[in-house]
């Protein structure tokens, strides 16, 4: 049998320990599938005395993960410490500099420094692999880069954050508001003590920047991702969405347009006929639209020790087999330089909820503003009457340019009959499972 692939793991938290267990428990299976053993040669973590339930005999321990990346007797370094800069970045740079392959689950690092690291890895003829960085156990990088290589992709979108999907799912099922469900998500371990990274859309934006680069063979542009979270979504909006035939999901969407590449993360009204509308709880799902496949959806667990460890080991298996592919579909020097499409030029239908004082003429004031901004209204719902009191009024629009919609809502917000800022959610025209595109 061939020499083993020697692996060094930086970080023995939930994911690192999970990857360690997969490598040890499935050693024989991996050796059979890869044609050589995968052996854990070294590890680095903060506290060597801590009992992690791992068999660390015959494994070299390093207190300093950067030193491990430079000196360990290893072919590949797995970076599982996290963070866009600092020690995680130094580990990857050091490993590549010393001719070692790198596997990482660090989407923030890749979103900010992926191009530079890929350029360094290609120059050293080593692999920079990151299947675990996007959608956990769903092999979406392999699918886009290999399985769909025969397609010119037009759009990629999906549910990229399990925390937000859990919160929106439970708000719909229970009728509770965001803050109450967020506390439940934190108690269950689905959300951090500081949930900003997830609920404000940053985590999904990191993943979308990576997906867009792989899908379209373009330079990564995290700064060009429009990002909006879910804090402003209310149980009232979720109820109206169901009544209108939609479900609210936080989506990351990327597509090529005449203005450049459009990358946006925000809550969406998704038609109930679209399969992704029914992806619930902490699951993730990604849809790729291509010229020959039409549309393909990939669904599964997007986080957690098991799914993420599975993706890490999949990358290690590819390295053990000798698979060598460009980091982002094509070599770094051939990645297209595509400008970011301005969000103001986005066009689509919109859902708007207003809280208006129930007075004569108030609807006329609103419709006059929409008319002046060339916003065409499709429908309006007003279920309550309470003269002199605030009542919810919901309207949907025909396809409208974002800039016009924003301008209209700013003017509506200034009306003295509007008692809280308008709530706007973009409606996405996604295709149903039985509906062919085109």
Alpha carbon 353 to chain centroid, angstroms: 27
What is the torsion angle, in degrees rounded to the nearest 10, for the CA atoms of residue 383, residue 422, residue 193 and residue 239? 20
Going by C-alpha positions, the residue among 68, 88, 76 that lies closest to residue 121 is 76
Is 331 in a helix, a strand, or coil? coil
Q: CA angle 93-98-100, nearest 5°?
A: 85
Dihedral pair phi/psi, residue 286, rounded to 5°? -130, 135
CB atoms under 10 Å from CB of 246, counted, come to 23
Rg from Cα positions in the chain: 24
Biggest alpha carbon distance in the chain?
84
Give the sign of the dihedral formed by CA 50, CA 53, CA 57, CA 59: negative
Catalytic residue status for 207: yes
Q: CA angle 116-14-207, nearest 5°?
A: 35
- How do strand 400-401 and strand 347-348 relate by DSSP bridges? antiparallel
Residues 6+ apart with CB under 8 A from 438: none
DSSP string, 162-197: HHHHHHHHHHHHH---HHHHHHHHHHTTSS-SS-HH
Expressed in angstroms, the distance from the first to the final Cα of the chain is 52
Distance CA 328, CA 323 (A): 14
- How do strand 128-129 and strand 5-10 relate by DSSP bridges? unpaired
Dihedral pair phi/psi, residue 348, rounded to 5°? 180, 175
* Token representation of residue 407: 């301008």
The catalytic position among 183, 207, 334, 411 is: 207
Going by C-alpha positions, the residue among 413, 432, 431, 433 that lies closest to residue 422 is 413
* Token representation of residue 296: 């393909």
CB 144 within 8 A of CB 215: yes
CB 265 within 8 A of CB 251: yes
Just list the catalytic residues. 207
């Amino acid at each position: 049998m061939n020499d083993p692939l020697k692996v060094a793991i930086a970080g023995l938290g939930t994911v690192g320990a999970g990857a360690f267990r997969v490598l040890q428990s499935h050693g024989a299976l991996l050796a059979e599938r890869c044609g050589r053993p995968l052996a854990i040669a070294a590890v680095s973590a903060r506290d060597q005395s801590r009992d992690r339930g791992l068999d660390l005999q015959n494994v070299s321990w390093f207190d300093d993960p950067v030193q491990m990346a430079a000196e360990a007797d290893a072919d590949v370094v797995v970076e599982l410490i996290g963070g866009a800069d600092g020690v995680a970045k130094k580990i990857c740079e050091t490993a590549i500099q010393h001719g070692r392959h790198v596997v990482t689950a660090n989407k923030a690092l890749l979103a900010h420094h992926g191009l530079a690291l890929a350029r360094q890895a290609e120059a050293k003829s080593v692999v920079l692999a990151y299947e675990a960085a996007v959608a956990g156990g769903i092999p979406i990088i392999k699918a886009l880069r290999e399985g769909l290589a025969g397609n010119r992709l037009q759009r990629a979108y999906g549910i990229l954050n399990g925390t937000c999907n859990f919160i929106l799912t439970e708000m719909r099922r229970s009728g509770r508001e965001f803050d109450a469900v967020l506390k439940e998500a934190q108690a269950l371990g689905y959300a951090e003590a500081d949930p900003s990274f997830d609920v404000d859309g940053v985590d999904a934006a990191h993943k979308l920047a990576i997906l867009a680069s792989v899908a379209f063979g373009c330079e990564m542009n995290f700064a060009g991702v429009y990002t909006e979270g879910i804090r402003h979504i209310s149980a009232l909006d979720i109820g109206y969405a169901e009544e209108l035939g939609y479900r609210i999901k936080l989506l990351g969407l990327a597509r090529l347009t005449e203005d450049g590449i459009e990358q946006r993360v925000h809550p969406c009204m998704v038609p109930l006929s679209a399969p992704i509308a029914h992806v619930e709880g902490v699951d993730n799902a990604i849809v790729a639209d291509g010229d020959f496949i039409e549309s393909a959806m990939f669904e599964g667990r997007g986080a957690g020790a098991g799914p993420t460890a599975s993706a890490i080991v999949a990358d290690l298996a590819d390295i053990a087999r000798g698979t060598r592919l460009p980091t982002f579909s094509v070599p770094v020097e051939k990645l297209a330089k595509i400008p970011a499409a301005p969000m103001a030029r986005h066009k689509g239908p919109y859902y708007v909820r207003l809280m208006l004082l129930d007075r004569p003429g108030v609807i006329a004031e609103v419709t006059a503003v929409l008319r002046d901004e060339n916003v065409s209204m499709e429908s309006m719902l007003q279920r309550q009457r309470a003269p002199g009191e605030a009542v919810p009024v919901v309207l949907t629009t025909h396809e409208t340019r974002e800039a016009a919609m924003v301008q209209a809502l700013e003017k509506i917000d200034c009306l003295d009959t509007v008692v809280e800022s308008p709530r706007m959610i973009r409606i996405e025209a996604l295709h149903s499972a039985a509906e062919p595109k085109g």
